[in-house]
Amino acid sequence: MTLHLVDDHDAATRRVTALVSTAIRETPSLVLGLPTGRTPLALYAALGAAALDWSGVRTFNLDEFVTLAPDHPGSFRAFMDEHLFRHVNLPPASIGFLRGDAADTAAECARYDAAIAAAGGVDLLLVGLGGNGHIGFNEPGESLRAETHVVPLHESTRRANAERFGGDWQAVPASALTMGMRQVLSARRVVMMATGASKADAVAAMLDGPLTTRCPASWLQAHPDVTFVLDRAATSGRRVR
Ligand code: GLP
């Protein structure tokens, strides 16, 4: 486990931008797993402005809202198009994404797992942290699932995602498709970025607590090559420093 403790969100963004840029330069055929959310916004802006060749890169996003078509403005696919994909020379055929509007969601999940396997697995998975400890959309609860699956979203998660739905949390779909814990833990390298005081409790549970389904991100402690990039505010809840 590598822990990069930096001053603030800007410094965390610079650190992760450098990590991803190096990975793409060293491995032009990189298979890259990507998150959505506010945390990677500046990262995507920086990657979009960097002189990087994405022509050989393949991407797989972590999750998508059930029911939403890719061109729905609230979809994660639309978010990624807006903030990253349209700014880089990533071939459209190299973009892996879950279809929220799939008629058969179980088949869609199986298709996604097969597509990731066919790409040789994920080389570098970037993840963010839910305020409740979720990773992708693997929500805290009694149990976790290994494979890509459909998950009901907690109210707090829907509220956290309300911005792109006119601020109305009830307009946020009540369920999502997400990579499961096997996809997260079998990525060859994981980089977790979390910043801000709203993540402090989740960061403390993730780093210092037991591995528990109550904090899905705590399972990252078991990953053999995980890098945490955290700012001071996000680590302010830790008792052990
Ligand atoms: C979202 C996404 C996660 C993301 C998390 C944190 O709901 N499904 O992949 O990491 O919540 O989002 P933010 O970066 O906006 O805090």
Please report which confidence band the pLDDT of residue 239 belongs to, taking 50, 70 and 90 as the band edges: confident
Atom 13 (ligand 1) nearest CA: 37
How far is it, in rounded angstroms, from Cα 209 to Cα 221? 10
Determine how β-strand 175-178 pairs with β-strand 63-65: antiparallel
* Residue 80: both structure tokens together: 């990624």
Cα(89) to centroid of ligand 1, in Å? 25
Residue 24's closest CA among 54, 65, 60? 54
Mean pLDDT of 11-37: 98
- Tens-digit pLDDT profile for residues 48-97: 999 999 999 999 999 999 999 999 999 999 999 999 999 999 999 999 99
Q: Where are the beta strands (DSSP E) in 26-77?
A: 31-34, 58-61, 63-65
Given a cut of 70, whether residue 240 has pLDDT beyond it is no
Range from 27-31, 151-155, 216-220 carrying the lowest mean pLDDT: 151-155
Substitution site in 34, 36, 98 for ligand 1 pocket (most atoms within 8 Å of beta carbon): 36
pLDDT on residue 48? 97
Given a cut of 60, whether residue 241 has pLDDT beyond it is no
Mean pLDDT of 5-25: 98
β-pair partners for 207:
none
Mean of all residue pLDDT scores within the chain:
97
* Residue 209: both structure tokens together: 């607590």
To which residue do tokens 């779909």 refer?
A: 173
pLDDT on residue 140? 96
Q: The pTM is what?
A: 0.97
Q: Name the active-site residue from 134, 138, 149, 223.
A: 134
Three-point CA angle 42, 34, 142, nearest 5°? 115
Residue 46's closest CA among 19, 73, 77, 7? 19
| 2-231 under CATH 3.90.1640.10, yes or no | no
CB 3 within 8 A of CB 235: no
CB 47 within 8 A of CB 13: no
* Residue 83: both structure tokens together: 């903030």
Residue 179's closest CA among 230, 86, 235, 115? 115
Mean pLDDT of 110-117: 98
How far is it, in rounded angstroms, from Cα 154 to Cα 175? 9
Atom 9 (ligand 1) nearest CA: 136
